[in-house]
Chain A
């Protein structure tokens, strides 16, 4: 190792051997405090490894003396959160759903809780914005099969619709008029024309006038003489602009011929009472919620 070391005359510092464009580099020592800082970081790292989970083992990392883990921290945070919202959940549980809207702060808390629950349990069918799709009702609008006040919504969520194992479930029974040969094909076509006429999609004609007779004999018992529907049996309003399965002639013919059998699960066996109540509050808040069932004027009927 008898290399020549070149020393810069002015500073007494060693000159590195490389050179670019005539520029040479001095091997100037680092300040000592810098070195101590570096040692301190090493000590800190050792202490950290001892105190916290650090070394990867076969199925988990070493536990560390402090016993800290990210999962444990999460559990603690969740427990604290539960603790924090427990009084609010308690208050919602104790407040009847019809009284809830009169307590704005509690209602707001319920809406927020419902929003979160909706995103977990309801978006699969009703969509993330609750706008639904064909066969799945839009919860933002003002058309309700079973009632749009908050108590009716809560019951629908709790008991479901056409749930085979549940006594209290919402149950609507539309016959399959064509398939079961209750009506002829011509009669079905006529009644479709009539329904499209009362919903304002085209003007009355000969077919729809024939259909009006068929409607009065077969459909009015549930849908009402003017087709305005009946919420006690979940019969939809046929005279308005909203169609769950489509309002064009083919869709309506399909409905009359085969009937529709939409199903909504009951949620009172999967979710607790408070969550169901919060869901009702959220759905009610979407813009179509009604104050009381009787305030809604039934058009034409």
Chain B
């Protein structure tokens, strides 16, 4: 084929004007939107009484003090493996959900989907439904059009601002920060974060929309790679629908034409502008609004629902050969999903177990390497250690540091003197903080060149577990 004229290297975005639709999946989407937005906006305002030494916010990422609070759980930086565990759970959870119900994350819970959906409702409220939107887009600029556009962008901007604004409340005490924010005394970073997130929400939710899903997001590449022939995906049952023709044609010749009357409703309602009748494609986020639209049409023309429906590829092939549709439950429960679920449960249970048995005090010891030992004038040998005591409870605790496996050892800190040396030392560790001690340890000069022992720590106010850390005593 010979080309006339050269094609543009760059393609202009084709407008997508999704039509309003009602149905089961639309209502499910409403519910998911309500829940996710409520979680997002509400979480920072939940209070949680932690006493006088810790913040009272239920979920708080305290970057300044390097603490992460989640209800009764407090994570310190060295316990970051819990976050790694959460990431593993999120990853396995994605495998699980995708293998079971396809790209449900994309279609319902993804923030891009939720906010785009919200923005489209605003758009419909101001510009009207699909046809009015197309008409408005095609009319030249006028005062009325400008007014509508400004109104729409203003509402979008308010939503974007509320979205960006809520984010910062996860990182500081929400009521305090809100007051600081409005009085201009919050940290510059807070205003910067709000500005950036407002801008990205406004642009991504208002203008980029499906382009984010199709061009920018890595998820659909990963998710579609994880689908198999037993995953539920939105499927057009072409063996039932083809050959398409108008209702009139179909009624005239029912033997030739299938159930699809080519009304194009499935395309009109699609938020990413996909024609599902062309088969599975990367633009499809499996939100099933086309299912709602098609079912409504099928009801009108008196045909059974489900011309477009969630369906696995295996079932599609079976149905095509005349088999009956299988119940959904049997597609959900299969070895692959059960294996993912078991793995997911195992990781979660392991984390809960680790959270349950972890001690809220910790010792870490670093031996001085320079010099590795010091000979004192009476011939005894002194080693020095830097000891960190972590008190991870929100109250001050007295702690006793001792030594096991090293007879006759005497210790003192650089705040004391050798005359006060004893076999153990006690120190007060402030609430929720790390106490750093420089400890000198003394032994007679005789003995093996190196001796392994352990520093131990326990809280002396009540039974709260203890911790120990192996160390070495070096001699010439």
Give the interface of A toward B (CB within 8 A): 4-7, 13-14, 27-35, 104, 127-131, 138, 140-143, 200, 237, 240-242, 285, 287-288, 291
Q: Is the CB of A31 within 8 A of B10?
A: yes
Q: Is the CB of A138 within 8 A of B371?
A: yes
Bound together, the chains give a CA A241 to CA B380 distance in angstroms of 9
Q: List residues of chain A with CB within 8 A of the CB of B368.
A: 129
Q: Is the CB of B1 within 8 A of A240?
A: no
Q: Which of B351-408 contact A (CB under 8 A)?
A: 368-371, 374-379, 382, 384
Shortest Cβ distance from residue A240 to the other chain B in the assembled complex, whole angstroms: 4
Bound together, the chains give a CA A29 to CA B8 distance in angstroms of 7
Q: List residues of chain B with CB within 8 A of the CB of A31.
A: 10-11, 13, 211, 215
Q: Which of B1-29 contact A (CB under 8 A)?
A: 1-3, 7-13
Give the interface of B toward A (CB within 8 A): 1-3, 7-13, 208, 211, 215, 368-371, 374-379, 382, 384, 414-415, 417-418, 440, 445
Q: Is the CB of B3 within 8 A of A7?
A: yes
Chain B residue at smallest Cβ distance from A290: B417
CB < 8 Å neighbour of A240 from B3, B8, B377, B415: B377
Shortest Cβ distance from residue B116 to the other chain A in the assembled complex, whole angstroms: 16
Q: Assuming A29-B7, A29-B10, what are 15 further A-B pairs, CB within 8 angstroms?
A: A4-B2, A5-B3, A14-B3, A31-B10, A31-B13, A31-B215, A32-B10, A129-B368, A129-B369, A129-B370, A129-B371, A131-B374, A138-B374, A141-B374, A241-B376
Q: Is the CB of A32 within 8 A of B11?
A: yes
Bound together, the chains give a CA A228 to CA B376 distance in angstroms of 15
Chain B residue at smallest Cβ distance from A240: B377
Bound together, the chains give a CA A180 to CA B360 distance in angstroms of 70
Shortest Cβ distance from residue A35 to the other chain B in the assembled complex, whole angstroms: 5
Q: Is the CB of A241 within 8 A of B379?
A: yes
Q: List residues of chain B with CB within 8 A of the CB of A128.
A: 370
Chain A residue at smallest Cβ distance from B415: A104
Bound together, the chains give a CA A39 to CA B374 distance in angstroms of 66
Q: List residues of chain A with CB within 8 A of the CB of B9.
A: 29-30
Bound together, the chains give a CA A33 to CA B12 distance in angstroms of 8
Shortest Cβ distance from residue A209 to the other chain B in the assembled complex, whole angstroms: 24
Q: Is the CB of B374 within 8 A of A240?
A: no
Shortest Cβ distance from residue B157 to the other chain A in the assembled complex, whole angstroms: 19
Q: Is the CB of A291 within 8 A of B378?
A: no
Q: A32-B11, A33-B208 are in contact. Are A240 and B378 (CB under 8 A)?
A: yes
Q: List residues of chain B with CB within 8 A of the CB of A143.
A: 376-377
CB < 8 Å neighbour of A142 from B10, B11, B208, B377: B377
Q: List residues of chain A with CB within 8 A of the CB of B7.
A: 13-14, 27, 29
Bound together, the chains give a CA A32 to CA B377 distance in angstroms of 80
Q: List residues of chain B with CB within 8 A of the CB of A13.
A: 7
Q: Is the CB of B10 within 8 A of A131?
A: no
Q: List residues of chain B with CB within 8 A of the CB of A5.
A: 1-3
Bound together, the chains give a CA A129 to CA B13 distance in angstroms of 67
Bound together, the chains give a CA A5 to CA B2 distance in angstroms of 6
Q: List residues of chain A with CB within 8 A of the CB of B378.
A: 240-241
Chain A residue at smallest Cβ distance from B379: A241
Q: List residues of chain B with CB within 8 A of the CB of A6.
A: 1
Q: List residues of chain A with CB within 8 A of the CB of B10.
A: 29-32, 34-35
Shortest Cβ distance from residue B5 to the other chain A in the assembled complex, whole angstroms: 11
Which 6 residue pairs across A and B have the least CB separation, nearest first?
A129-B370, A131-B371, A240-B377, A241-B379, A29-B11, A5-B3
Q: Is the CB of A30 within 8 A of B11?
A: yes
Q: A30-B9, A33-B13 are in contact. Are A140 and B215 (CB under 8 A)?
A: no
Query: Would you mind naming 21 contact pairs between A and B with Cβ atoms under 8 Å apart?
Result: A4-B1, A6-B1, A28-B11, A30-B10, A31-B11, A31-B215, A32-B11, A34-B10, A104-B415, A127-B371, A129-B370, A129-B371, A131-B374, A143-B376, A200-B379, A237-B377, A240-B377, A240-B378, A241-B379, A241-B445, A285-B414
Chain A residue at smallest Cβ distance from B207: A33
Chain B residue at smallest Cβ distance from A30: B10
Most buried by B among A7, A28, A140: A140
